[in-house]
Amino acid sequence: MNAPSTSVYGRPDYLPYDEARATYSKSPYAVTKLATEYYSKVYYDLHGLPTVSLRNFTMYGPRMRPNTAITNFGSRCLDREPPVVYGDGDQTRDFTYIDDAIDVNRALLETDAVDGEALNVVSTDNIKIREFAEHVIAETGSDVETVHEDAKDADARPTHSDVSKARELLGYEPSIGIREGLSLFIDWYEDNREWYRPMALQS
């Protein structure tokens, strides 16, 4: 199983993203991720190696990598510091809760229907970043207000995923919405703050 990135889509010419959409990678990071997809596909085509590239839309949950917007927003709010949003915050994002990602990986163990393919993986809901920050503030009980900084050129403004392919080939049905998943993560984070800290705040 290869885990590239949804950044391979670049800035969209239509939404939601489906796997047939052309890729327009807009950063060196995205280009390297797209290259891993090509390598995986080539090894499947030439050698029959069963590979699948899962385009996970911002995976999150307990023990997630500690350098994302979710962990940054959460840690800042719990420390009574304002979350920082780049741009106006109206950009939208999809997220994938870890339980949904695990369901897809387990399903792949039971079938070869997706071998050699790329597959979108995402949970339910689509949310604006400013609404996401407001939800983190509410969940943490913080009295801070969101701070805005200049948008980053390489960031896609909207993202939204079509999971029809995963539904058809794997019977995948995402079950955890962003607001529910975020509440679960914040609860876990509060219980594990002694050892789990975002990289930006580690000494």
Range of the domain at 72: 6-201
Q: Which helix (H) or strand (E) holds 29?
A: helix 28-47
pLDDT digits (tens, 9 = 90+) for 44-79: 999 999 999 999 999 999 999 888 888 989 989 999
* Residue 97: C-alpha distances to residues 10, 11, 141 (Å): 22, 23, 22
Would residue 95 count as lying in a domain? yes
Q: Which of 29, 86, 97, 172 is catalytic?
A: 29
Q: Given this model, what pLDDT does residue 200 score?
A: 47
Mean pLDDT by 10 residues, the chain (203 residues): 88 85 85 95 96 94 88 91 92 94 94 95 91 94 92 74 94 93 93 77 43
Beta strands of 27-86 (E only): which ranges? Answer: 52-56, 59-60, 84-86
CB 61 within 8 A of CB 98: yes
Q: What residues are paired with 97 via a beta bridge?
A: 60
Would residue 86 count as lying in a domain? yes
CATH number of the domain at 83, please. Answer: 3.40.50.720
- Is 29 tagged catalytic? yes
Would residue 1 count as lying in a domain? no
Q: Given this model, what pLDDT does residue 203 score?
A: 36
- Number of structural domains in the chain: 1
- Determine the Cα–Cα distance for residues 84 and 148; give it in Å rounded to an integer: 6
Global pTM reads 0.88
Decide: helix, strand or coil at residue 16: coil
What b/e readout covers 93-103, taking b as 16+ CB neighbours within 10 angstroms? bbbbbbebbeb
Would residue 141 count as lying in a domain? yes
Would residue 10 count as lying in a domain? yes
